[in-house]
Amino acid sequence: MLAVGIDFGTTNSSLARCVEGPKSQSPAVELVRVPSLTGPTESYRSLLYLEQVRQQGKNRLASWTGPAGIEQYLSREARGASGRLIQSLKSFLTSRMLLSTEVFGIRVTIEELIARILRDLREKAEQQFDAPITSAVAGRPVRFVGAENEEDNAYAQGRLRTAFELAGFKSIEFEMEPVAAAHYYESTLQHDELILIGDFGGGTSDFSLIRVGPTVRRRGRKANDLLGNAGVGIAGDAFDAKIVRHLVSPHLGAGTKMQSVDKLLPVPGWVYSKLERWHHLSFLKAKDTMNMLANVKAQALEPAKIEALIHLVNEDLGYRLHQSVQKTKSELSAETAARFLLADGAIEVDALAQRAAFECWIGDEIAAIETCVDSLLRDSAVPAAKVNMVFLTGGSSFVPAVRRIFEQRFGGERIRAGSEFTSVAQGLALKAR
Ligand SMILES: Nc1ncnc2c1ncn2[C@@H]1O[C@H](COP(=O)(O)OP(=O)(O)OP(=O)(O)O)[C@@H](O)[C@H]1O
Ligand SMILES: [Mg+2]
């Protein structure tokens, strides 16, 4: 039976298996590759695009995930179709408020929505590996987004398990994502190390302090090789939120006023809070909200900005907004300034973002990540000097302010990085073996 490793990420997912070579060699890891508009990719966007279809006289939801979801979403206008694109579903797993949602009048649970992504990924893997797949080692963050205690984490993991089962998996074992990244890092190592793993994704930042290397591999891993885990539900999506808040929302009416009978009131702020979070954005398009926005526009002192907001929600431009934010954020990882562009109908945002300003915007998030790292070192009673190497992985590890946290504590020469989008899935595959 083929057991695979699956990293269901907030932004990107990957699936891998181990391929046995000659006895003397360590096993190779093979990742699932899927075609996309930009060429074959091993990181499968964790997004879901839904359209309503009529089958056998009944309304049903057709879905596309990953790169196919993006293509179907982008071609919707040309096909005269409309649909819903949902991102960052993993961030809902702790929420007891949002258990299900209505899409085109059909009620679906969050688990079912996630299962659609996992099932597609499983089927892609079955095709590539030419074997049935019902067994997996799945990753989980140390602390799920929104988790306040271990009960919340257990609740979220239970829901993730349900999603895997709905997707056709029969046997699922969970491993902490940073521990999986450590398994991957260890496979590249010829000597023993005490390593600090930092995995910065879309939803969470996760850390493990762990002994790795040939000795551990030879004698088998013991529980006390792991000195500690820590995590915080703050990562790339939280950075994106600050870009939306500072660069985009003001153009869509945030902070402006409306005339209500005899007094001036601020326009409702909660709409902009939802706009900032990818997992909430696609849920804004509800009848009540659209009616409310139409009323706000009628009373607004700057109605053109509210019109732009209505256009964004009504035309399902969340993905376009996400792409613009990703582009600017990624450029700011490499350059000290980047342009932000978003133009569509009533929306026109063309702004220059400075890295220094971005670092101010995400100051609280960086401080929370620092506190998490420091508390892990303190709770495990390991001084920074005892850590041999730091391995940074995950897409948000490209953010210079994130790297600086480790440069300040460990010095640049003790920092390694790599396989940003696949280290966790590769480590999970090694564990599955
Ligand atoms: N060059 C870059 N600079 C800054 N951020 C980046 C860069 N490239 C990718 N990212 C960010 O990395 C995040 C995705 O990383 P990754 O795929 O590791 O997350 P994930 O595994 O899906 O999420 P999680 O582990 O939290 O569930 C996104 O927020 C993305 O914007
Ligand atoms: Mg991840």
Phi, psi of 388 (to 5 degrees): -75, -40
Pick the residue whose CA is nearest to atom 12 on ligand 1: 395
Q: Are strands 106-109 and 135-140 parallel, antiparallel or unpaired?
A: unpaired
Phi, psi of 256 (to 5 degrees): -90, 175
Q: Is 178 in the pocket of ligand 1 (CB under 6 A)?
A: no
Report the residue among 31, 153, 234, 329 best suited for mutation to probe ligand 1: largest number of ligand atoms under 8 A from its CB.
Answer: 329
Check: CB of residue 109 under 8 Å from CB of residue 170: no
HSE-CB of 62 using CA atoms within 13 angstroms: 13
Identify the nearest ligand to the CA of 397 by its number.
1
419 C-alpha to center of ligand 2: Å?
Answer: 11
Q: Is 142 in the pocket of ligand 1 (CB under 6 A)?
A: no
Structure confidence at residue 26 (pLDDT): 73
Check: CB of residue 204 under 8 Å from CB of residue 144: yes
Q: Which residue has the tokens 């989008």?
A: 421
Structure confidence at residue 24 (pLDDT): 66
Strand partners, 140: 176
Taking the CA atoms of residue 73, residue 327, residue 198 and residue 221 in that order, the dihedral angle to the nearest 10 degrees is 40
Q: Is 397 in the pocket of ligand 1 (CB under 6 A)?
A: no
Structure confidence at residue 301 (pLDDT): 97
Pick the residue whose CA is nearest to atom 18 on ligand 1: 394
Structure confidence at residue 280 (pLDDT): 92
Q: Which of 203, 205, 244 is CA-nearest to residue 12?
A: 203
Q: How many CB atoms lie within 10 A of CB 56?
A: 5
392 C-alpha to center of ligand 2: Å?
Answer: 12
In whole angstroms, what is the distance from residue 218 CA to residue 262 CA?
77
Q: Which of 419, 359, 10 is CA-nearest to residue 187?
A: 419
Q: Which runs of consecutive H residues, i.e. helices, occur in 269-335?
A: 270-276, 278-281, 287-299, 303-314, 318-334
Structure confidence at residue 187 (pLDDT): 92
Structure confidence at residue 404 (pLDDT): 98
Q: How many CB atoms lie within 10 A of CB 58?
A: 8
Burial 37-55 (b: 16+ CB within 10 A, else e): eeeebbbbbbbbbbbbeee
Q: Is 138 in the pocket of ligand 1 (CB under 6 A)?
A: no
pTM of the full structure? 0.97
Geometric angle at alpha carbon 167, from 234 and 274, rounded to 5°: 35
Q: From start to end of 100-256, where are the E strands? A: 100-103, 106-109, 135-140, 171-176, 193-200, 205-212, 226-232
Q: Is 421 in the pocket of ligand 1 (CB under 6 A)?
A: yes
90 C-alpha to center of ligand 1: Å?
Answer: 13
Check: CB of residue 168 under 8 Å from CB of residue 201: no
Give the tokens for residue 349. 């945002």
- Among the atoms of ligand 1, which is closest to the Cα of residue 393? 18
Q: Which of 259, 199, 192 is CA-nearest to residue 221?
A: 192
Identify the nearest ligand to the CA of 237 by its number.
1
Pick the residue whose CA is nearest to atom 5 on ligand 1: 396
327, 342, 350 from 353: Cα distances, Å: 11, 13, 10
Pick the residue whose CA is nearest to atom 8 on ligand 1: 395
Q: Is 202 in the pocket of ligand 1 (CB under 6 A)?
A: yes
3 state SS of 371:
helix
Domains (ranges, CATH) in the chain?
A: 3-191+421-432 (3.30.420.40)
Burial class (CB in 10 A: 0-12, 13-18, 19+), 94: buried
- Spans of the chain below 50 pLDDT: none
* Helix axes 318-334 and 236-243, enclosed angle (nearest 10): 100
Question: What DSSP letter does each residue of 132-170 carry, written as one string?
Answer: ---EEEEEE-SS-TT--SHHHHHHHHHHHHHHHHHTT-S
Q: How many CB atoms lie within 10 A of CB 145?
A: 27
10 C-alpha to center of ligand 2: Å?
Answer: 7
